[in-house]
A and B are shown apart, each in its own frame.
Chain A
Amino acid sequence: MTALSSDIARDSLRGRLILILAVIVTASVIAVGFAAVAAFGRAVEPELANRTRLIGTIFRAEIQRALGLGIPIEAVAGIDRYLSDTLEKFGEVDRVTVATAAGKPIAVAERAASPSLISRTGLGEAIAVRRTTISLPILDGNRLVGEIRVEISPFFVESRLREVFLDVLVLALIATLVAMELVLAVTISSVGKPLDRVFRLLHEQRAGDFRHSIRLSGLGGVGRTAARLNDHAEDLAARFATLPTAVRGSIGATIAEAGPLRLRLSDFSDIRLALFLFSVATEISAAFLPLYARGATRPDWLGPQVAAAAPLVFYLVAIAALSPFGGALASRFGARRLFLASVLPTAIALTAMAFSTSVVAITFWHGTMAVFYATATIACQEYAIRAAKDQASTRPVTGFIVVVYGGVFCGSALGGLLAGRFGFATTFMTGAALAILSGLLGAVFLRGKAGDRRAARAGPAAKSPGRPSWFSSRFLALLVGVSVPMNASMAIFIWYLTPLMLSAAGSGPSQIGRVVMLYYLGVVLFGPIVARLADGRVGPVAMVVIGALFSGAALLSLTNSGGFWAIVFAVSAVGFGHALIRAPLYSLSIQITGGSESGLATLRLLERIGAIAGLTTIAVLLGENGAAGSIRILGLVVLVGVGFYVIVETVGRSRRAIAG
């Protein structure tokens, strides 16, 4: 086929459809989100009025107590100081005025205010944010002697609505990601795959190969063609079976002897929906796990901070322990079986975590979940790489990473929301249900050949009698200089130091969660663009180097300026930098090692060991260096690492050029 290639047609349809869907869903969610914020504002107004009245009542009671002792209202001493003190206690009070019955102010306390963001942008009028004021009479016996006026700051309403609006934005992102995964699954199963199957079977039959049939699906003519081509194969197989064995060799075509076999095509998109849901399920506790562990019963010798960190450390240890064997397991049992076998234990571990009351139990079950998380994700990665036509391409790995991080993003946001409303147990049970659902979807979608057991390998790595191909200076420099620092900075900076620093700066758990999510959002948003650049003229090496330099600089930026926005910037920038590195790093590893299992296993193992070692070291030295000092060291390690990699890569290229 010349002008019309099924690949081009399918890919362009998919790309445009995602774009259109993203526009429609985002616009719809923003529209409903806007309506939600306005409705929230109106709905909370009575409660805000109740709070204001209560505050006014408290003020009045104190003043009336003084009046009860016979002191005239104009002579109540220290009223200004009392009002100022109380103003400090109630963050939402903007101004309190005590006036006589004639309206003459006796005391005024107010907070310095600047125009609010909502009022500056004009959004205030649209969502009916206004200053709430309440006046209460002051009585001395049965005599009206004055009035107390309490004005609630619109900043308070704005801050509550800002929280709501940020939550709405997070929900919109979750909704858009879920929608993209769903529509991709629908498009691929109803348009892309039926076309692929028909073209593949057509190609085979033109070449005289009638051994295969395909699943009947597709619209109109495509479905009829599938039926026709299947019938060709079945008819010839039936007639071939009746021939005497002696004359079978004289047929100039390949025909199935015992009926045509079902052709099973693989696409790296097969893993998307199942992996996405699995990631959502396993990361559903990301926003509250340290709190859950800290609140559980623990041995006397275990401090609360260590207890909070214990599930995280054992999670990394469990993944590191399994990483060397993950690829081998996927080859031995097949990606499909390994994924499906991982689902049930994951669901059991999540259920057990819901009912665990001790740190030991939580840590054990979280570690167990980590083992099966590792097997499931490695199985999906194996499937994606095998399903890709060009195995050295960055795209399947990018697709894999974007889906996993999309799941992490959605899981942590959804988990925080569910835990806040229904409690931890219900959230874990939801995670278990999602894991089971991902297993069912995996059983449906992972039916391609890429999910089968790998045949005996005949690659260059298996044939080479000498040193394994992954044991090269290039690969080791990539590991030590880029991969390990990247994973160490994720564990240290994103998982450990960011929550600590934000908490110290006065941020609550939901705000911390939203900032941490910015890191994952970088991968989700920029992953596909990075894949195109890495596969195009820029190349994976340049992407890895630029990403490492960017993340190192972002870390060092925190040593000059602290505070909330500086952390937000650094987290976003590190997320962007790592988004540039992740997929090209795997692509480079596959290029260098020739897709050797031991090479990829080494990569995964050293990544985890680097994260554990870095996290432990920084945690131990935190008291000595402080957060800023630790981040400075981390930034320098990243920059020195990438410098080392650039030197090794440049020297290697010069040698190859001379040799070539």
Chain B
Amino acid sequence: MQLFWRIWAAVTLVNLAVLSLFVGLATLQFDNINSGLLGERLAVLAGRTAAPFESATKIGLPLSAVRNADALLERARQTDDAILAVHVFDGDGRIIQSTDPSAPNTISAAAFAAREAAAGGAWQRETADGFLGGVDILTAGRESVGGILIVYPGGGNDTGVRAMAAELALAAIAVAFAAAAFGAVLMRFGLGRQIRMFEAIETDIADFERQAWRSAATAPAVTRTEETGDLRQRLAAAEDRYRATGQALTNAGEAGGQ
């Protein structure tokens, strides 16, 4: 049974490790999906907010010439109470309009990098400041003169991801317990023959050892006829060979000493 429990423990631990890995990877995947959905929504919202600004830039007006820019941005912000700020920035990244009275002078370096990488398309990135989503404002000649940046809190997403991790971990623990019980039954029947074979090896070795100490007291030999009886004979043959060699060494030593 020692082998059985050892294998059962190994299988259970491996299963637990695999489920832990799976929960980790699945949580990452959920975070990806959640971020993707949020990013797409922010991109749609940014695109919609950018439209009136683009109408102005397409006839050659500067971004700052758009009337009611504050209201346009505020309307976008009110689509979701969680939105922290909606900014309009110029080609150099300077924020020229914002729903946030304490908005920074320029967009963050992370926003710059994400915008560069998107090369004119809609973009989103998760940063320490929160989730950023944006779109460029283009002229009639398809040149970028600035863009819209929406700042969304990252904390809510993190809470959702942590909740998902906890839910999956709980499910994994329950499944691991069930699998451990199922595994024990499966191994009992599936590995029965193999475990009996290894147990027979153990028994043969024990019989051989018992024979060794009984022979010292000239007790009757241990008699057993098992399928592994051959192993005991091998052990006995190796032991005999060892003793014979040891005796030969003793004899040779005595002969050498004379």
- Is A13 part of the binding interface, using a Cβ–Cβ cutoff of 8 Å? yes
Given A4-B197, A164-B29, A251-B248, decide whether A16 and B191 contact each other with a Cβ distance below 8 A. yes
In whole angstroms, what is the CA distance A236 to B245 when docked? 8
- Residues in B with CB closer than 8 Å to A650 are none
Residues of B113-139 contacting chain A, CB below 8 A: 117
The digit string for B241-258, where 1 denotes a CB below 8 A from any CB of A, is: 110111011101101100
- Is A171 part of the binding interface, using a Cβ–Cβ cutoff of 8 Å? yes
- Is A27 part of the binding interface, using a Cβ–Cβ cutoff of 8 Å? yes
- Is A28 part of the binding interface, using a Cβ–Cβ cutoff of 8 Å? yes
Q: Which of B45, B190, B198, B245 has the most CB of A within 10 A?
A: B245
Q: Which of B79, B182, B197, B250 has the most CB of A within 10 A?
A: B197
Given A47-B38, A50-B41, decide whether A21 and B11 contact each other with a Cβ distance below 8 A. yes
CB-based contact A35/B168 at 8 Å:
yes
Residues of A31-56 contacting chain B, CB below 8 A: 31-33, 35-36, 39-40, 43-44, 47-48, 50-51, 53-55
- Residues in A with CB closer than 8 Å to B253 are 239, 242-243, 247
- Residues in B with CB closer than 8 Å to A190 are 6, 10
Question: What distance in Å separates the Cβ of A591 from its nearest Cβ neighbour in chain B?
Answer: 33
- Is A220 part of the binding interface, using a Cβ–Cβ cutoff of 8 Å? yes
- Residues in A with CB closer than 8 Å to B201 are 4, 195, 221-222
Q: Size band of the A side of the interface?
A: 35 or more
CB-based contact A25/B241 at 8 Å:
no
Q: Which of B168, B186, B242 contacts A20 (CB 8 A)?
A: B186
- Residues in A with CB closer than 8 Å to B246 are 235-236, 239
CB-based contact B248/A3 at 8 Å:
no
- Residues in B with CB closer than 8 Å to A39 are 30, 164, 167-168, 171
CB-based contact A179/B18 at 8 Å:
yes
- Is B14 part of the binding interface, using a Cβ–Cβ cutoff of 8 Å? yes
- Is B67 part of the binding interface, using a Cβ–Cβ cutoff of 8 Å? no
CB-based contact A417/B175 at 8 Å:
no
Given A191-B3, A229-B238, A243-B252, decide whether A29 and B22 contact each other with a Cβ distance below 8 A. yes
Among listed B86-94, B214-222, B224-232, interface-contacting one: B224-232
CB-based contact A205/B241 at 8 Å:
yes
CB-based contact A31/B18 at 8 Å:
no
Residues of A201-258 contacting chain B, CB below 8 A: 202-203, 205-208, 210, 219-222, 224-225, 229, 232, 235-236, 239-240, 242-244, 246-248, 250-253, 255
- Is A421 part of the binding interface, using a Cβ–Cβ cutoff of 8 Å? yes
CB-based contact B26/A253 at 8 Å:
no
- Is B108 part of the binding interface, using a Cβ–Cβ cutoff of 8 Å? no
- Residues in A with CB closer than 8 Å to B230 are 1-4
Q: Taking CB as reference atom, which chain A residue is nearest B197? A: A9
CB-based contact B191/A32 at 8 Å:
no
In whole angstroms, what is the CA distance A9 to B23 when docked? 35
- Residues in A with CB closer than 8 Å to B178 are 31
CB-based contact B6/A28 at 8 Å:
no
Given A21-B14, A27-B182, decide whether A251 and B29 contact each other with a Cβ distance below 8 A. no
CB-based contact B249/A24 at 8 Å:
no
Question: What distance in Å separates the Cβ of B132 from its nearest Cβ neighbour in chain A?
Answer: 15
CB-based contact A40/B30 at 8 Å:
yes
Q: Which of A1, A13, A53, A171 contacts B26 (CB 8 A)?
A: A171
- Residues in B with CB closer than 8 Å to A417 are 25, 28-29, 32
In whole angstroms, what is the CA distance A220 to B199 when docked? 10
- Is A542 part of the binding interface, using a Cβ–Cβ cutoff of 8 Å? no
- Residues in B with CB closer than 8 Å to A175 are 18-19, 21-22
- Is A420 part of the binding interface, using a Cβ–Cβ cutoff of 8 Å? yes
CB-based contact B245/A27 at 8 Å:
no
- Residues in A with CB closer than 8 Å to B209 are 221, 224
- Is A511 part of the binding interface, using a Cβ–Cβ cutoff of 8 Å? no
- Is B69 part of the binding interface, using a Cβ–Cβ cutoff of 8 Å? no
- Is B17 part of the binding interface, using a Cβ–Cβ cutoff of 8 Å? yes
In whole angstroms, what is the CA distance A187 to B9 when docked? 12
Given A224-B205, A247-B255, decide whether A20 and B34 contact each other with a Cβ distance below 8 A. no
CB-based contact A28/B175 at 8 Å:
yes
CB-based contact A12/B194 at 8 Å:
yes
Given A24-B11, A43-B160, A51-B41, decide whether A29 and B18 contact each other with a Cβ distance below 8 A. yes
Q: Which of A27, A47, A418 contacts B37 (CB 8 A)?
A: A47
The digit string for A311-353, where 1 denotes a CB below 8 A from any CB of B, is: 0000000000000000000000000000000000000000000
Given A39-B168, A236-B245, A247-B255, decide whether A32 and B235 contact each other with a Cβ distance below 8 A. no
Residues of B13-49 contacting chain A, CB below 8 A: 14-15, 17-19, 21-23, 25-26, 28-34, 37-38, 40-41, 44-45, 48
- Residues in B with CB closer than 8 Å to A55 are 44
CB-based contact B18/A420 at 8 Å:
no
- Is A167 part of the binding interface, using a Cβ–Cβ cutoff of 8 Å? yes
19 A-B pairs within 8 Å (CB atoms) are namely A13-B191, A16-B191, A17-B7, A21-B15, A24-B11, A28-B176, A32-B172, A39-B30, A164-B33, A168-B26, A175-B19, A191-B3, A191-B7, A219-B202, A221-B204, A244-B256, A251-B249, A418-B28, A420-B32
Residue positions of A touching B, CB distance < 8 A: 1-4, 9, 12-13, 16-17, 19-21, 23-25, 27-29, 31-33, 35-36, 39-40, 43-44, 47-48, 50-51, 53-55, 57-58, 160, 163-164, 167-168, 171-172, 174-176, 178-179, 182-183, 186-187, 190-191, 195, 202-203, 205-208, 210, 219-222, 224-225, 229, 232, 235-236, 239-240, 242-244, 246-248, 250-253, 255, 295, 414, 417-418, 420-421
Taking A32-B172, A43-B164 as given, write out 8 further A-B residue pairs in contact, using a Cβ cutoff of 8 Å, ordered by the A residue number. Answer: A20-B187, A39-B168, A50-B80, A208-B245, A239-B246, A246-B256, A251-B245, A253-B245
Residue positions of B touching A, CB distance < 8 A: 2-3, 6-7, 10-11, 14-15, 17-19, 21-23, 25-26, 28-34, 37-38, 40-41, 44-45, 48, 79-80, 117, 160, 163-164, 167-168, 171-172, 175-176, 178-179, 182-183, 186-187, 190-191, 193-194, 197-198, 200-202, 204-206, 209, 227-228, 230-231, 234-235, 237-238, 241-242, 244-246, 248-250, 252-253, 255-256
